[in-house]
Amino acid sequence: MPMLAGSGHSTELGATMHTEAKAPLIDRLRGGDALALEELMDEFAPRVHRMAYGITRNEADAEEVVQDVFLRLFRKIDAFEGRSALGTWIYRIAVNTALIKRRGKRAALEVLLEDHLPTFKEDGHREGDRAMLLADWSETPEEELLSSETREAVRRMIAGLPDHYRVVLLLRDMEELSNEETAEILNDSVASVKSRLHRARMALREQVTRSLAFDGRPATRAC
């Protein structure tokens, strides 16, 4: 789903998230080296901010999350046992911190995932307005699908998903992490991550389909 991909660093993550490569930096952090913290922030702060903003949808909150994450990391580095990659640990702290930040606003922002999923009649045909049923993504120019307006609309749709679906979608499709890395960050099973990702993508596609169906263009039947 190209309109979601935001980081493009999947190849570098392979090297970045190996704890062994970060051992000297971790040792410096444990020694209270502030420059080591700056180096870590140079590498990870943009990712933490992107993830935090994806969860909170608020710039001020995202900035606070970044500060909280690295302050906690600096203070609690001795708690890092090296059983997971350093990057995984940072993402885990970022996700938890951002969810706590968002918690007070969640009820006003979220709707049930089922409200976003397609529904079907007893005969198996999909329910809905004819314009939506006949919406054809192939008739939508690629530049429109990838436009800044569409990207922002998709991000707003993601923001309305329940937390446990939205976080999986952000980690997999925006941060481009693997199912295994996502499961480790969320302390969940790979099977659960795959299931939640599938439902989140279905819900997102349904919202985009509704948006394309009712944007004023004539609907055309997909081949």
Q: Which residues contact 171 (CB under 8 A, 6 or more apart)?
A: 51, 91, 95, 177, 181, 182, 185, 186
Spatial distance between the Cα atoms of 133 and 118, rounded to a whole number of angstroms: 10
Q: How many domains does the chain have?
A: 2
pLDDT for 192-223, tens place per residue? 999 999 999 988 888 877 776 655 444 444 44
How many H-runs (helices) and E-runs (strands) does the chain carry? 12, 0
> pLDDT value at position 217?
47
Contact indicator for 29, 74 with CB cutoff of 8 Å: yes
Last residue of a domain, one of 61, 77, 106: 106
Collapsed DSSP state (helix, strand, coil) of residue 126: strand
Please indicate, yes or no, whether residues 152 and 89 belong to a single structural domain of this protein: no
Residue 29 has pLDDT above 80, yes or no: yes
pLDDT for 54-102, tens place per residue? 998 899 999 999 999 999 999 999 999 888 888 999 999 999 999 998 8
Apex 10 CA angle, 28 and 86, nearest 5? 25
223 assigned to some structural domain: no
221 assigned to some structural domain: no
Please indicate, yes or no, whether residues 82 and 114 belong to a single structural domain of this protein: no
Distances (CA, A) of 89 to 6, 77, 177, 182, 203: 21, 10, 13, 11, 29
Phi and psi torsions of 120, nearest 5°: -130, 150
Spatial distance between the Cα atoms of 8 and 174, rounded to a whole number of angstroms: 8
If one compares 209 and 169, the residue with the highest pLDDT of the two is 169
pLDDT for 135-148, tens place per residue? 444 445 555 555 66
Last residue of a domain, one of 83, 106, 129: 106
Query: Does the reported pTM lie above 0.75?
Result: no
Of the pLDDT bands very low, low, confident and very high (cuts 50, 70, 90), residue 119 is: low
Contact indicator for 4, 208 with CB cutoff of 8 Å: no
220 assigned to some structural domain: no
- Among residues 106, 107, 79, which one has the least CA distance to residue 92? 79
Please indicate, yes or no, whether residues 72 and 45 belong to a single structural domain of this protein: yes
Last residue of a domain, one of 106, 135, 170: 106
Residue 40 has pLDDT above 80, yes or no: yes
Please indicate, yes or no, whether residues 136 and 152 belong to a single structural domain of this protein: yes
Domain holding 89, by residue range, is 10-106
Q: What is the CA radius of gyration of the chain?
A: 20
Domain of 153, CATH number, reads 1.10.10.10
